[in-house]
Amino acid sequence: MPFTYNGLPSRVIFGQGTLARVAEEVQALGCQRVLVLSTPQQEGQARQVLDQLGELGADVFAGARMHTPVETTEEAMRVLSSLGADGVVAIGGGSTIGLGKAIALRADLPQVVIPTTYAGSEMTPILGETKNGLKTTQRTLKVLPETVIYDVDLTLGLPVAMSGTSGINAIAHAVEALYAKDRNPIVSMMAEEGIAALARSLPIIAGAPADATARSDALYGAWLCGACLGSVGMSLHHKLCHTLGGSFDLPHAETHTIVLPHAVAYNAEAAPEAMARIARALGADDAAGGLYDLAKAVGAPLALRDIGLNEGDIDRATEIATGNPYWNPREIEAQGIHRLLSDAHAGRRPETLEATDR
Ligand code: NAD
């Protein structure tokens, strides 16, 4: 099958203790005075980075928030220009990385990103922002971070519950990459490897959160899955999660974790090759059931009703999710999506023909 592959330019430093290289990486980008970004919860870590930067560090802006509100970005821009900063270092999860990208979009400054979750934003040229409660997403190379430092040590303390859901959030990118319209052999190879690395490490982390080998495996998997998200188009699963997060304010990683097995079950018959690769990477009999069992094994929530979706919201969620759909291997039809959401709401283990035929 003919294909097109777009390689994205980014430099990756991976391993334990790699944070020690932050100053030389900032210097390599030609920056002399960078602003360090974090959420209020991670200000302590941001201050440590500032210390490590010495004269290259201008100050810390610890106001990053979920969904990248434009008001927060404008506040950070004021701090940035008052300090005369010429680059940013973002340490944290997707929320902090989003702020770094929003600044890069406006000021065209280089970014060094130090991810501490598995969400994958650091590998994508995608920026989601909210203004007056409305979320807009854009794709531009201007926001793709120049340098990413994956320091396994920084993930050792990621709480167990967040590790499981954030890891499955990453898996969701790879799963959809395997049946994307613009899929290609390189990205599919990364996807399968990324799913396998996370599937074998997340259950170990659930029992031994400070296991450095499992943490290294998980972060490696998250990197690969993030690269998938950055390279090819996403389908039904991501549309459902954007709907549930955007219109019903459900938490990001948990929503991904709960919806994924059901979105995969919906697509199973239409994408048999992808299903076989997902199942193989999970070491499971079938893709959808395997994803559900993985979520259960890491102690993640399994039902949308447990994270704030009311049964009465399913009709409206179906309507929003089926309006303006993303490309999907199987046609989007309202009855099927309603059933999918009802199953996810109740937390039922998905049944696929693929599994029941056997
Ligand atoms: P997050 O960044 O919102 O982090 C959640 C909380 O956990 C924050 O308080 C954070 O400070 C804290 N935290 C992060 N790492 C920690 C650690 N190691 N130890 C303890 N606490 C830690 O969560 P997230 O799931 O990483 O990111 C979700 C956001 O990222 C969403 O808004 C999503 O839309 C966005 N996102 C964007 C892209 C993209 O390509 N643009 C990709 C993935 C996610």
Instruction: Specify the CATH number for the domain of residue 283.
Output: 1.20.1090.10
pLDDT of 16 above 80: yes
Q: Is 39 near ligand 1, meaning CB less than 6 Å away? A: yes
Q: Is 119 near ligand 1, meaning CB less than 6 Å away? A: yes
CATH number for position 87: 3.40.50.1970
Q: Are residues 179 and 296 in the same domain?
A: yes
89 is a domain residue: yes
Q: Are residues 137 and 171 in the same domain?
A: no
How many structural domains compose the chain? Answer: 2
Residue 13 — very low, low, confident or very high, per pLDDT cuts 50/70/90? very high
Q: Are residues 262 and 296 in the same domain?
A: yes
Residues 154, 157, 160, 166: what is their CA dihedral angle, to the nearest 10 degrees?
A: -20
Indicate the top mutation candidate among 49, 162, 169 to test ligand 1's pocket, ranked by most ligand atoms within 8 A of CB: 162
- The single residue listed with the structure tokens 């890069």 is 104
Nearest residue (by CA) to ligand 1, atom 40, is 121
Q: Are residues 229 and 274 in the same domain?
A: yes
4 is a domain residue: no
1 is a domain residue: no
Q: Is 262 near ligand 1, meaning CB less than 6 Å away? A: no
Q: Are residues 200 and 312 in the same domain?
A: yes
Residues 62, 63, 64, 69: what is their CA dihedral angle, to the nearest 10 degrees?
A: -160
Domain containing 53 equals 11-155
Each residue of 27-60: pLDDT tens digit? 999 999 999 999 999 999 999 999 999 999 999 9
What's this model's pTM, rounded to 2 decimal places? 0.96
Q: Is 94 near ligand 1, meaning CB less than 6 Å away? A: yes
Residue 353 — very low, low, confident or very high, per pLDDT cuts 50/70/90? low
Q: Are residues 165 and 72 in the same domain?
A: no
Q: Are residues 55 and 87 in the same domain?
A: yes
Indicate the top mutation candidate among 37, 41, 126, 241 to test ligand 1's pocket, ranked by most ligand atoms within 8 A of CB: 41
How would you class 351 by CB atoms within 10 Å of its CB: exposed for 0-12, middle for 13-18, buried for 19 or more? Answer: middle
Each residue of 290-341: pLDDT tens digit? 999 999 999 999 999 999 999 999 999 999 999 988 999 999 999 999 999 9
Q: Is 257 near ligand 1, meaning CB less than 6 Å away? A: no
